[in-house]
């Protein structure tokens, strides 16, 4: 992507057109609510727009936007408002009992949807490594830089994330970690 | 598991999440308008910091000019009585603040503690000074006030049940039965000095009055000693 923009507006339009859905999905993996993810997406691009001056010195727009998005989503999850929403939803779910919504009845979830659901229920530090590795297809090095942890931490979180995920899935007997090798873009590691 | 995850990453419903054209358009519009209306960036912050600094300097200068008592400000007190309460200082410290023509009594009976002085300011002038000398058995309160005279005291107490035990042109000893045990007043220069001696453990005002009656001569001597001494500000 060309990093030279004629104006601030041009910069915003360019990054928004290229990354809006990407950021929207990333936000969804953090907050698991479409409406909240929409709001967060807007706020993230607003931050990008306001910090246009700071961006100039950076080389990768993608990393820069992702970094802003991660911080913003985590800040939101720490906020009182998000806790209020989570508690309200829990209360609603409790009040409804185990009754399935018409949507649930009609949509018989396939395996992919089931795994996605389980993935989204993992703790954030495990969830985000899976999202960046499988959905965004980032390298371990990029993930480490983005999440501000070292590469070994990313590897061990990835391994643990898969273990947790396989434990939560029914009929998942297959051992995930031991000896399984992942090769991507020339980087090998045991996970 | 690896296969399943890769498959999931391709077919997951998360990938199908998209903002509609209208949503995108509205969002972009909202970002631009919000971003432009907030506009602050570094220039505004810089200006705000400078403004804050200037405002702080002005407040400090203003406080110095008005001679506002810092302790009273820190204690968030607003009433005049509170301000008086917070004006307690050790005598040696307070001496520097007190007027030069005011005789400062030096502790004259074996003082154990450094006496505390309470003073009230009216602008730059100190109008009232209270000093408490704490001895082994007794406490002596000395109050010095500007602008009052013996005449005022006499006029003020004539109709009441006070009794004069000692009186001359410069001094007056009052024994009060109501709320104050016994006070000796002296006039010197522009100031009116009042002295009262109390036992440390006084149980009642009655007992204190009795004590004051018993120590009349002693109080008078002490008071006289203060009046006749020269100003010692060392």
Whether residues A116 and B8 touch (CB distance < 8 A) is answered with yes
In order of A69, A185, B187, the CA distances from A63 in angstroms are: 10, 18, 84
Interchain CB contacts (distance < 8 Å): A and B: 92
Q: Which of B1, B6, B9 sits opposite A166 (nearest CB)?
A: B1
Chain B residue nearest residue A53, CA to CA: B41
Question: Same domain, yes or no, for A178 and A99?
Answer: yes
Record the tokens describing residue B33, joined without a space. 């308008």
Q: Best interface-test mutation with B: which of A135, A166, A177, A189 has the largest number of B CBs within 10 A?
A: A135
Cβ-Cβ contacts under 8 Å for B183 (sequence gap 6 or more)? B173, B174, B176, B194, B195, B196
Q: Across chain B, what does the average pLDDT equal?
A: 68
The more confident residue out of A130 and A177 is A130
pLDDT(B201) > 50: yes
Question: Same domain, yes or no, for A76 and A96?
Answer: no
ipTM topping 0.90: no
Range of the domain at A54: 8-84
Whether residues A38 and B19 touch (CB distance < 8 A) is answered with yes
Question: Same domain, yes or no, for A96 and A141?
Answer: yes
Chain B residue nearest residue A30, CA to CA: B14
A83, A54 contact by CB (below 8 A): no
Q: Which residues of B24-46 are buried (b: 16+ CB within 10 A; e: fewer)?
A: beebbeebbeebeeeeeeeeeee
Question: Same domain, yes or no, for A56 and A95?
Answer: no
pLDDT(A176) > 80: no
Question: Same domain, yes or no, for A128 and A157?
Answer: yes
Determine the 3-state secondary structure of B110 from DSSP.
coil
Question: Same domain, yes or no, for A20 and A70?
Answer: yes
Q: Flag whether residue A153 sits within 8 Å of chain B, measured between CB atoms.
A: no
Record the tokens describing residue B109, joined without a space. 């009976």
Residues of A in contact with B32 (CB under 8 A): 9, 12, 49
pLDDT(B32) > 80: yes
**Residues A1-48 pLDDT 10s:** 445 677 788 888 889 999 999 999 999 999 888 888 999 999 999 988
What pLDDT sits at residue A180?
A: 42
* A1 is a domain residue: no
- Residues A13, A15, A18, A23: is their CA dihedral positive or negative? negative
Domain boundary among A50, A69, A84: A84
Please state, in angstroms and rounded to a whole number, the distance separating the CA atoms of residues A171 and B2: 15
Provide the 10 A C-beta neighbour count for residue A182: 17
The number of domains in chain A is: 2
Please state, in angstroms and rounded to a whole number, the distance separating the CA atoms of residues B214 and B192: 24
**Residues B163-182 pLDDT 10s:** 666 666 667 666 665 555 66
What pLDDT sits at residue B174?
A: 67
Whether residues A115 and B5 touch (CB distance < 8 A) is answered with yes
Alpha-carbon gap: B25 to the closest alpha carbon of chain A (Å): 10
Whether residues B17 and A46 touch (CB distance < 8 A) is answered with no
A29, A128 contact by CB (below 8 A): yes
Question: Same domain, yes or no, for A58 and A104?
Answer: no
Question: Same domain, yes or no, for A56 and A104?
Answer: no
The more confident residue out of B203 and A101 is B203
**Residues B110-132 pLDDT 10s:** 444 556 666 665 555 566 777 77
* A3 is a domain residue: no
What residues of chain B have any CB closer than 8 angstroms to a CB in chain A?
Answer: 1-2, 4-9, 11-15, 17-19, 23-24, 27-28, 30-32, 34-35, 38, 40-42
B129 forms beta bridges with: B119, B144
* A74 is a domain residue: yes
Q: Flag whether residue A187 sits within 8 Å of chain B, measured between CB atoms.
A: no
Question: Residue B95 carries which DSSP code?
Answer: G
Question: Same domain, yes or no, for A101 and A149?
Answer: yes
* A71 is a domain residue: yes
Torsion of Cα atoms, A88 then A123 then A30 then A3, to 10°: 160
Q: Kind and range of the H or E element at A115?
A: helix A111-120
Most confident of A179-183, B58-62, B158-162: B58-62
Cβ-Cβ contacts under 8 Å for A74 (sequence gap 6 or more)? A30, A124
In order of A157, A177, B185, B197, the CA distances from B220 in angstroms are: 88, 98, 9, 10
Question: Same domain, yes or no, for A15 and A47?
Answer: yes
Q: Which of B1, B5, B17 sits opposite A25 (nearest CB)?
A: B17
> What is the CATH number for A28?
1.10.1740.10
Burial class (CB in 10 A: 0-12, 13-18, 19+), B89: middle
Chain A residue nearest residue B24, CA to CA: A20
* A54 is a domain residue: yes
Determine the 3-state secondary structure of A58 from DSSP.
coil
Q: Which of A40, A76, A74, A81 is nearest to B27 (CA)?
A: A40
* A170 is a domain residue: yes
Domain boundary among A23, A54, A84: A84
Question: Same domain, yes or no, for A111 and A53?
Answer: no
Determine the 3-state secondary structure of A113 from DSSP.
helix
> What is the CATH number for A163?
1.10.10.10
**B226-230, Cβ contacts within 8 angstroms, sequence gap of 24 or more:** B226/B103, B226/B105, B226/B108, B226/B142, B226/B186, B226/B193, B226/B195, B227/B103, B227/B170, B227/B171, B227/B186, B227/B188, B227/B193, B229/B103, B229/B105, B229/B106
Domain boundary among A44, A65, A84: A84
B174 forms beta bridges with: B164, B183
Question: Same domain, yes or no, for A97 and A178?
Answer: yes
What pLDDT sits at residue B110?
A: 45
Q: Best interface-test mutation with A: which of B4, B11, B43 has the largest number of A CBs within 10 A?
A: B4
Question: The tokens 């307690």 sit on which residue?
Answer: B88
* A129 is a domain residue: yes
Whether residues A13 and B9 touch (CB distance < 8 A) is answered with no
* From A49-53, A116-120, A161-165, the region with the lowest mean pLDDT: A49-53
* A2 is a domain residue: no
Residues of B in contact with A135 (CB under 8 A): 9, 12, 14-15
**Residues A128-166 pLDDT 10s:** 999 999 988 899 998 998 888 889 999 999 999 999 988
A119, A111 contact by CB (below 8 A): no
């Amino acid at each position: 992507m060309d990093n030279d923009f004629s104006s601030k507006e041009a910069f915003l339009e360019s990054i928004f057109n290229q990354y809006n859905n990407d950021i929207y999905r990333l936000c969804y993996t953090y907050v698991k609510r479409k409406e909240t993810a929409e709001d967060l997406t807007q706020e993230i691009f607003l931050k990008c727009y306001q910090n246009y001056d700071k961006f100039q010195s950076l080389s990768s727009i993608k990393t820069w936007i992702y970094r802003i998005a991660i911080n913003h989503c985590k800040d939101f999850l720490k906020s009182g408002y998000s806790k209020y929403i989570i508690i309200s939803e829990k209360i609603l779910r409790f009040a409804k009992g185990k009754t399935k919504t018409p949507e649930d009845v009609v949509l018989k979830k396939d395996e992919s949807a089931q795994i996605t659901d389980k993935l989204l229920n993992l703790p954030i530090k495990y969830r985000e490594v899976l999202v960046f590795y499988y959905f965004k297809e980032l390298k371990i090095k990029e993930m480490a830089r983005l999440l501000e942890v070292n590469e070994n931490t990313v590897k061990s979180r990835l391994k643990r994330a898969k273990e947790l995920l396989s434990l939560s899935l029914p009929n998942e007997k297959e051992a995930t970690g031991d000896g399984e090798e992942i090769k991507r873009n020339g980087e090998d590691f045991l996970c | 598991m690896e296969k399943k995850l890769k498959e999931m990453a391709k077919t997951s419903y998360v990938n199908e999440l998209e903002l509609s054209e209208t949503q995108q358009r509205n969002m972009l519009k909202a970002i631009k308008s919000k971003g432009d209306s907030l506009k602050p960036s570094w220039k505004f912050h810089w200006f705000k910091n400078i403004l804050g600094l200037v405002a702080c300097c002005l407040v400090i200068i203003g406080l110095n000019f008005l001679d506002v008592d810092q302790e009273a400000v820190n204690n968030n007190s607003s009433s005049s009585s509170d301000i008086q309460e917070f004006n307690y200082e050790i005598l040696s410290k307070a001496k520097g603040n007190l007027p030069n023509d005011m005789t400062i009594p030096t502790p004259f009976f074996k003082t154990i503690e450094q006496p505390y002085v309470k003073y009230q300011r009216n602008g730059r002038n100190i109008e009232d000074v209270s000093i408490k000398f704490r001895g082994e058995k007794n406490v002596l309160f000395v109050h010095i006030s500007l602008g009052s005279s013996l005449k005022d005291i006499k006029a003020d107490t004539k109709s009441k049940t006070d009794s004069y035990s000692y009186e001359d042109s410069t001094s007056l000893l009052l024994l009060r039965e109501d709320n104050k045990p016994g006070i000796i007043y002296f006039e010197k220069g522009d100031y009116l000095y009042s002295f009262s001696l109390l036992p440390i453990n006084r149980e009642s005002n009655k007992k204190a009055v009795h004590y004051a009656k018993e120590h009349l001569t002693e109080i008078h001597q002490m008071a006289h000693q203060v009046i006749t001494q020269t100003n010692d500000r060392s």
